[in-house]
Structure 1
C-alpha cells in the first residue's frame, strides 16, 4: 500500500474543496472496497478525504411519497430500516444477500454504488487490464472467464458489476443525487453506471469532482409482489453468478406493471424496459415469464466458460417472477 495523507471534511462544500485540483485524492467512508483496492496496489490515492462526519446519514421522506436515503447510511441500517422493510422489501432483501454482517455495518449507500468489479485480472496488478490501465488489453476474454459478462460487454472489457443493492435500485427506478462545483444534479439510475464500450475505466457518470449525496426511491416499491434471488457458488459471502430483482403490480391474475433487473451478467445492473413490455397485460404465469426471459437473454454473447449463465439466468428469472406472484417466503 502506498503512502497517503488523510484529511477530514466537515461539510459537503469542504469535501468538494479538498477534492478540487487533486486528481489523486479519493473520498473514503466505510472503505470496504477502496481499502481492498489499495492493498492490492490497484488504487494508489495520495490523499484520502474522510467524509464520515458529513450530514448524509439520514433516511427521510422524499418527493411525491418516495424515500430519500443519505449517501452515508450504512447497508445494515438501510436493510433494517422500518420504511425500507415495509415499503421497499426488495431493497432490504438484496442488501442482506450481499457481503457479510461486518461489511454491511461499514459499507455506505454511496460507496456501494461505486464498487469496482471483482474481475480476477483487474485485481491482479501484474496482469494487463483495460479497466485499470486503458489500452493494455483484456486477458479475461481468452482467459478464465466463468464469472464474466454475457450482456453489454465489449472487446475492451467483460467484467461484471458486483453489487446486490444496485440490482434492486435499478428495478426500483432510483435516482442518484450528486453535488459538485457546478451545483447539484440528479442522475436516473439507468444512466448512472456505464457499459464498458471503449472506455472500461469509466464506471459511472459521476464526474471526478462530484460527490454522491443521496439516493431517492419513488413511491412505488413493489411491496406486495417482489423477489430477490441470488445464485452463487456458496451460500454466503460470495458474489452473484446471476441475481434477479423482480417487482410486479398485479390486476387479479394479470400483470399491470413489472420491473426486472439482473446482476452478475453485465458491467452494470441489467434492465431492458422494452423486454418488460412483453409482460404487461399478460397472465402472471410460467409461460409469460419464460417468454420474457427468452427475450431478455436473446442478445447474450457468452465466452468460453460462462455459457451456463444464459440458462441459469432464464431459470432464475422465471423463479423470481413466480415467487413474486406467490409471495413465497424470501430467503
Structure 2
C-alpha cells in the first residue's frame, strides 16, 4: 500500500491536528484529493455546514472523492471528518462573524454608509484575531532571524498584495536596512532579480488569484538559492512550494472585499523584529526604532 493510500492510524481529534496532517501529506496527494484538501483548508466553514453533494460541487469533484479524502486521514467517512470542522466553529469565541453577517445584510438593504464602514472594521478585527491565533512564535522568530542575516532583502508583490510589499520596503528603508523593492516601470524586474544571491533573502506576498509573474519570479529566486519568506493565504498556495518559511494569512471579507489588516500587522512585526535582531543585545539601551 502506497503512502498516499495508507490511512492515518488514528484520525485527528481537532482542526489544527487535521490541518497538520493535510499539510504533511500535501506533496503526495493525488490531484483530485489535493483539490479537496485545498478547498477544505480555504473554506472550513463551508465544510462544516455543507452537504457532501454541495461541497463536492463547490470543490469540482465527485462526492466519492470526499469520502476517499476523509478515509485517507483515518476517518470512517466524510461525516466523521465533518464533525471536526463543526467543532472548530463551536470553539471559536469571537462573535465578529455573526456581526459581520448582520452588517452585510444591513448594507445590502441600504442601511447607509455607516453600516458599510462598521462592516469593514468588523472584518479587519476578525482578520487580526485570526492571525493572532495562527502565527506561531517560533515560526516568526525563524523568519526574522533569516531576514536579519541577509545582505539585501528583496521584496516582491503585485495587485492586491502590493501595498504590503511597498510598506515593507518603506519600513526597512527607514530602519536603514538594505532593501530592494522589485518593481520597474521599464520592465527591468528580471534584471533586478538577477542581482540577488544566496547571501540575500526575499519577502514575497501573494494572495489568490495568485499573480503568475509573482510565482515565476519566486521560482527564479528559489533557483538562485535566495531564501524566501512568503505571506500568502493558503497552505496550497504556489508560493509555499518555493518558500523556506511561509505564513498563512486569511483576511476576512466584507461584501466580497478583503482588507489587508492582518497582513499589514504581520509585515510591521517582521520589519521591527528584523531591525531589533540586527541591533543585537548591545543596542538594547538605545531608543526604539521609529518609522514616520
Is the structural similarity TM-score above 0.5? Answer: no
Greater share of strand: 1
Name the TM-score, length of structure 2 as normaliser.
0.28
The higher radius of gyration belongs to: 2
Greater share of helix: 2
Name the TM-score, length of structure 1 as normaliser.
0.26
